[in-house]
Amino acid sequence: MNEMLSDDEQVERIKAWWKANGNSIIAGVVIGLGGFFAWQWWGGYQDKLAGEGAEAYELFAQSAFGNDVKKTDDALAQLQSNFGDTSYSQFAAMELARQQVSAGSLEAAEKTLDNLLKQSTDSALKPLLETRLARLLVAQKRLDEAGKMLDSINSDAYAAETAAIRGEIAYLQGDMAAARAALEEAQQKGSNDENINYLLEEIGPQESS
Amino acid sequence: MLQHIRDRAQGWFAYAIVILISIPFALWGIQEYVGGGTDPVVAKVGKVEITQRSMESSLNNYRANLRQQFGGKIPEFFNDDMLRQQVLNEMIQEALLTQQVDNLNIRAGDEMVRQQIRSMQVFQRDGVFDKDEYERVMRSQGRNINAFTENLRMSLGTELLTGAISTSAFVTDAEIDALIRRKNQQRVVSWLLIDADSYKDQIEFGDSDIETYYNENKQKFRRPERVKLEYVELNHAALSADISVDVEALRASYEERKDEFKSPETRTTRHILIKVGGDVSDDDAKAEALKLLDEIKAGADFAELAREHSDDKGSGSNGGDLGVVERGMMVKPFEDEAFALQQDQISELVRSRFGYHIIQVTKIEGGDLQSFDDVKQQLADEFKKREADELFGEKYDQLAELSYADSGTLQTVADAIGVKVQESDWVPRTGASGKFANAKIIQAAFGDDVLNSGRNSDVLELEDDNYMVVRVANHEEETAKPLDDVSAGIRSILEKEQTIELTQKRADQVLNKLTHEGGTMGDIAADESLKLVQDKTVKRTGNQEIDPQIVSKAFAFSRPAEGKSSYGKVELANGSVAVIGVSSAIDGDPAALTAQERDSERQGMEAVRGQGSLAGYIKQLRADSSVKIMKN
């Protein structure tokens, strides 16, 4: 806008400018609006998918309590093929592991949790899975591995459970002083496990002499 | 001039000014969208803000819950700061979970939300979900349906997450076995009883010991402030008992009210209905009904005709039987006729709004009149109550008025309402028993007006229809109880102390023999003639006939080593002492449990471990996100 121009001249200029740029502006608007609606649609689609996943998981969790591992396994495969890398299939795998333990298949449960640990992207879940794995290792008398598993947890959040497992390991290794210390720590950090009380009773108080 | 400005306003300076000016316009009102307005924020969890208002409302809910739990009042050990802390903590946890639900892209499905809404009681009518009710409740609470369902969806999502974390906790078979072995462990215990009674005659102390105890424990022997009260009582029951009843008057009132003393009459009835309406005109129906009536009068079977012709299909198939009918159950014309008929008489045609009825009463019951003697007591009670009510009102007014007007004495008011001034025994400020246990009396008697100014109290309402006015006749300040009054009590305290001391000393000697001198319980029992109970097997709980103190002591030892008893002592409720030896522990047998019992152990352990998992998960979330608590 350098010089004074007459109205007609200004209109002429605008027309010329529109001729040069009009198409690209219209294209821009169309792309913008299209993108906006596509984004809206995508969000809705994602929500719908998440909702369906939740329903599938609920169905799984409810029917899963029958403790029939084979059926649960199939249902899990189905869920994973439909809702592959969602949280739902991770939760379902955790439930499967519980049932495997309950049915006495410790190795199968270990495999389930191991796979899940490698897959999971939920950083809050990782240490929980590690404590559960450690429990399984203890139950299989692989005490050293269990200890290493606990060492690898770099979080304080599950300290009560970690200490409880360490106490169990020390007890099984015959180190009563360490077991007592660890179990007392577990209670102090809030563990309500009934077994800890009885285990402490069995170990007995610290010898004062 | 404008031209001048336009000429100059070029270059970076002009643009800078334009941009500066446009900022306020561009951002005007943006806080409406970005922040929550003026509601202060108490904590911030990631991007989620916990506002003062939402916190206060949660706090109120929490208080209401507590109040309900503790019967209307929040106990004092819940101080407000503590409550606040707790509620805030819960809200932070909630926010952490909400955030995580979002991060993990968890979203409850539409069907789940729908089911949840359908299962909520507020939206139900007669136990079934009702859409109108749902919309009505929403409207009446001014809630937006969309926001409500989204909230619900979020909390369902949270539930899904927490459920997944906690219910997947497991317990291995070995752990269950270990628990059962330890929990169901039994212990073999023997004990020597050192009987406190056997030391009674060894006790010795003199009066000087009692005096010393009295002087050292003076604060224990205080007598609280107390008063003797004069009082007058106005009692509705007593008034009504004094009212005499005229039998003739009762009889008159019985005659008047005879209708009330009839038991309700019921009639077993059957009918044939010929409906009017639709294709059937009144005349046609009447004609058909008349024809049936003639047949019945000629001796045809009522039930048969009802089955074939009655338009009341329900009763028709039962031969027209309507069962027992009371007044008020049927339409008016039907009822009038049914209660006018003799038994077994056939009615003429009766027109109701349904059509034409032929009615027969097959049985008449009730309707009996109760005799005067049967209701005499009831009438007398009613009479007395009525009379007493009137009298009571009068006397209450006098009581209130005169006890206030002549507040230096109770005699005036007692004379006026015709009762005696009575006197109480000592009533301590700390509360008496019986009639004077009532807190209102204590409060009035020790109030400034009554105690210090010597006035009559207000009229105290003690319970329904029982009123009292009191004044103080005698007053004693709190004092030390004289030694003579309490020496018997002190004697028994000292006796008990000494007995316990002697018994414990003996128990220590016995214990020493067992642990350090290699004595056995059997030998000691024989040598010192102590009662020995040998080798009882006790469980942790559910033992019969064994002192619970002994049981809990038996399990207070750590597990005894093979062939080596653990010894200790425990004081029993009556002051005697048991010297205990635990010789062995017998583990519980996991195989002895039924599958069901084992399952319930498993579920219990899983639940505890699941809570631990969830607590850990939330701690981890908290460690991973930024939680800011604002100080205010």
Q: Average pLDDT in the B553-577 region?
A: 84
Cβ contact, residue pair A132, B169, below 8 Å: yes
Cβ contact, residue pair B104, A87, below 8 Å: yes
Cβ contact, residue pair B620, A55, below 8 Å: no
Mean pLDDT of chain A: 86
The pLDDT of residue B396 is above 60: yes
Q: Per-residue pLDDT tens for B64-103?
A: 888 888 776 777 777 788 888 889 999 999 999 999 998 8
Q: Which of B164, B559, B608 sits opposite A94 (nearest CB)?
A: B164
- Three-class secondary structure assignment of chain A: CCCCCCHHHHHHHHHHHHHHHHHHHHHHHHHHHHHHHHHHHHHHHHHHHHHHHHHHHHHHHHHHCCCCHHHHHHHHHHHHHHCCCCHHHHHHHHHHHHHHHHCCCHHHHHHHHHHHHHHCCCCCCHHHHHHHHHHHHHHCCCHHHHHHHHHCCCCCCCHHHHHHHHHHHHHHHCCHHHHHHHHHHHHHCCCCCHHHHHHHHHHCCCCCC
Say how far apart CA A153 and CA B495 lie, in whole Å: 62
Helix (H, G, I), strand (E, B) or coil at B49: strand
B561: tokens are 């080593």
Q: Average pLDDT in the B500-510 region?
A: 89
B384: tokens are 């007395």
Cβ contact, residue pair A160, B616, below 8 Å: yes
* Distance set, CA B606 to CA A77, A155, B575 (Å): 25, 23, 43
* Residue in B104, B158, B562 to test binding to A, most A beta-carbons within 10 Å: B104
| Residue numbers in B near A206 (CB within 8 A) | none
Q: Average pLDDT in the A158-186 region?
A: 94
- Euclidean distance between the first and final Cα of chain A, in Å? 99
Instruction: Determine the residue of chain A that is closest to B603 in CA distance.
Output: A102
Instruction: Give residues with Cβ within 8 angstroms of A61, minimum separation 6.
Output: A91, A92, A95, B163, B164, B167
Instruction: Determine the residue of chain A that is closest to B10 in CA distance.
Output: A2
* Residue in A60, A189, A202 to test binding to B, most B beta-carbons within 10 Å: A202
Cβ contact, residue pair B106, A87, below 8 Å: yes
Say how far apart CA B546 and CA B536 lie, in whole Å: 9
* Residue in A72, A98, A138 to test binding to B, most B beta-carbons within 10 Å: A98
| Residue numbers in B near A136 (CB within 8 A) | 172
| Residue numbers in A near B9 (CB within 8 A) | none
| Residue numbers in B near A123 (CB within 8 A) | 620, 624
Q: What is the pLDDT of residue B617?
A: 94
Count Cα atoms within 13 angstroms, Cβ side, for B358: 29
Please, which pLDDT band fits residue A128 given cuts at 50, 70 and 90?
very high
Please, which pLDDT band fits residue A209 given cuts at 50, 70 and 90?
very low
Q: What is the pLDDT of residue B30?
A: 62
Boundaries of every domain in chain A: 33-122
Instruction: Determine the residue of chain B that is closest to A201 in CA distance.
Output: B558
Q: Per-residue pLDDT tens for A103-118?
A: 889 999 999 999 999 9
Q: Average pLDDT in the B193-220 region?
A: 84
Q: Which position has the higher pLDDT, B577 or B366?
A: B577
Cβ contact, residue pair A51, B559, below 8 Å: no
The pLDDT of residue B26 is above 70: yes
Q: Which of A55, A101, A157 sits opposite B620 (nearest CB)?
A: A157
Please, which pLDDT band fits residue B516 given cuts at 50, 70 and 90?
confident
Q: What is the DSSP letter of B280?
A: B
Percent of the residues in chain B that have a pLDDT greater than 70, as a whole number:
96
Q: What is the pLDDT of residue B8?
A: 67
Partners of residue B426 on adjacent β-strands: B228
Q: What is the pTM of this model?
A: 0.61
Percent of the residues in chain B that have a pLDDT greater than 90, as a whole number:
15
How many A/B residue pairs have CB atoms within 8 Å? 148
Q: Average pLDDT in the A132-147 region?
A: 94
Please, which pLDDT band fits residue A208 given cuts at 50, 70 and 90?
very low
Please, which pLDDT band fits residue A3 given cuts at 50, 70 and 90?
low
Q: What is the pLDDT of residue A187?
A: 93
Q: What is the pLDDT of residue B252?
A: 85
The pLDDT of residue B36 is above 60: no
Q: Which of A95, A155, A190 sits opposite B620 (nearest CB)?
A: A155
Please, which pLDDT band fits residue B200 given cuts at 50, 70 and 90?
confident
* Residue in B111, B113, B172 to test binding to A, most A beta-carbons within 10 Å: B172
The position carrying tokens 């004595």 is B519
Cβ contact, residue pair A161, B163, below 8 Å: no
Q: What is the pLDDT of residue A166?
A: 95
* Residue in B168, B599, B624 to test binding to A, most A beta-carbons within 10 Å: B168
Please, which pLDDT band fits residue B621 given cuts at 50, 70 and 90?
very high
Q: Average pLDDT in the B497-511 region?
A: 89
Say how far apart CA B15 and CA B12 lie, in whole Å: 5
Q: Average pLDDT in the B427-444 region?
A: 84
- The alpha-carbon gap from A47 to the nearest alpha carbon of chain B, in Å, equals 7
CB B621, CB B96: distance < 8 Å: yes
Please, which pLDDT band fits residue A205 given cuts at 50, 70 and 90?
confident
The pLDDT of residue B9 is above 70: no
Q: What is the pLDDT of residue B479?
A: 87
- Three-class secondary structure assignment of B97-138: HHHHHHHCCCCCCHHHHHHHHHHCHHHEECCEECHHHHHHHH
Q: Which position has the higher pLDDT, A86 or A35?
A: A35
The pLDDT of residue A178 is above 90: yes
Cβ contact, residue pair A124, B624, below 8 Å: yes
Q: Average pLDDT in the A26-55 region?
A: 87
Q: What is the pLDDT of residue A66?
A: 61
Q: Per-residue pLDDT tens for B99-155?
A: 999 888 888 888 888 888 888 888 887 778 888 888 888 888 877 888 888 888 998
Please, which pLDDT band fits residue B337 given cuts at 50, 70 and 90?
confident
Cβ contact, residue pair B183, A198, below 8 Å: yes
A197: tokens are 């009380």
Mean pLDDT of chain B: 85
Q: What is the pLDDT of residue B231?
A: 92
Per residue in B466-492, is it b (16+ CB within 10 Å) or e — as a string?
ebbbbbbeebeeeeeeeeeebeeebbe
Q: What is the pLDDT of residue B29?
A: 65
The pLDDT of residue B35 is above 70: no
Helix (H, G, I), strand (E, B) or coil at B186: strand
Q: Which position has the higher pLDDT, B248 or B163?
A: B163
| Residue numbers in B near A88 (CB within 8 A) | 106
Instruction: Give residues with Cβ within 8 angstroms of A87, minimum separation 6.
Output: A122, B104, B105, B106, B161, B164
Say how far apart CA B248 and CA B255 lie, in whole Å: 11
